[in-house]
Amino acid sequence: MYISGFKDIFEKVEDYSKKIESLIFERIAYMNSVMEQISPFNVGDKYVNIKTGERAKVIEVYRMSSVGGRGTYFDDSIFDIHARFDNGDNTSRYGIEERNPYVKLSDYENKTDLYYKKLEDLTRYK
């Protein structure tokens, strides 16, 4: 319901809102289309949980929204990329990257610097 005499103003604001929403959805589509180019995870990659020794394979790569949770949000403007594994676990449940116990299988087997950094992070951020 419009306040008498202000219908044109409210309609103009509504038009701007629709334009903004359209641009936001365009940005979301673009970010989703380039996510794999900047993702540290790839479907099929093998990882090891260095706390448990369990091996897992990436079955899905996804972005978290800036308001938390998966999906489409108007402020979805960050590349917070995570992986879901075939063991039912996912990286987003650990909060910050330093608490994520997963390291690539090749880094685990070769005891690379990334593996040792992950060990240090896990002892520092319990």
Within the chain, strands assigned E span 46-49, 55-64, 80-85, 102-104
95-119 pLDDT, tens per residue?
Answer: 777 789 999 999 999 999 999 999 9
Predicted local confidence at residue 58, as pLDDT: 97
Predicted local confidence at residue 56, as pLDDT: 98
Predicted local confidence at residue 67, as pLDDT: 47
30 half-sphere exposure, CB direction, 13 A CA radius: 8
Predicted model pTM: 0.70
Domain edges within the chain: 7-124
Q: What is the mean pLDDT of the chain?
A: 84
